[in-house]
Structure 1
Amino acid sequence: MNPKISDFGMAKIFEGNQTEDRTRRVVGTYGYMSPEYAVFGNFSAKSDVFSFGVMLLEIVSGKKNNRFYQQNPPLTLIGYVWELWREDKALEIVDPSLKELYHPREALKCIQIGLLCVQEDATDRPSMLAVVLC
């Protein structure tokens, strides 16, 4: 499995054997873009890892990343989950519609992997291979 840029708009400008590059025009869906891409136009396989982490947190929580979940200070889903994780209350973010259908240890593992994937610095994010092996 060779990771590729998952955003179709960006995939058009990505060569078949490229692993990273820089673009002058940012394309994609805000909320799923990695910070280095949204700010500097730098993208790589680690940009996809960031997007995967956002999706994983959205799946576990049943919430969208681009909404504010706390008013003071306003936080996206990523910030809100991080605050809950730091306070040892991460299970509070699990979608209530799941009720008893999940094992808390598995939910915490998914939240932890999601948070690892959305780290601000791309070099701190795991590879997709490492994520799959978790």
Structure 2
Amino acid sequence: MTQEQSPASNPAEPEKLHEFLYCSLLTQDLPPATVGAIVTQARARNAVDGISGLLVFDGQFFCQHFEGPHEAAQGLMARLQRDPRHADLVVVHDGPLAARRYTGFAMGLAECEGPDPISALQALRGEAALAYFLALRASFDISS
């Protein structure tokens, strides 16, 4: 590799993946139906950007776990932090990812009953938050 080449410019190297897990609150005065619009927009953009993941909504709180190419994932996180539909956004896990966890759909949506699962997640950080979420994932009814 020459000095002008970066690792990302070498097509033989695998794409570096990154994942985020965050929690946020649906902005006050927005109806829960707003979530449908969010998912529709996310699916279209994420397909272009190579992002996949799962959005969980309990009627008030969001929890989203998403993955994709490092730069695309960072860009999505920056957009989410500026999105006025989210309040009190807290990233509970952010890190590199060896292999995708979501291969069957671009952006799944799950609704959960009551705030307890997401509230418990908000108190965790790092690998503990990720492990908690991944354990919960099996209990969600996911639509894609």
Q: Which has the higher contact order (CA 8 A, sep 6+)?
A: 2
TM-score calculated relative to the size of structure 1: 0.28
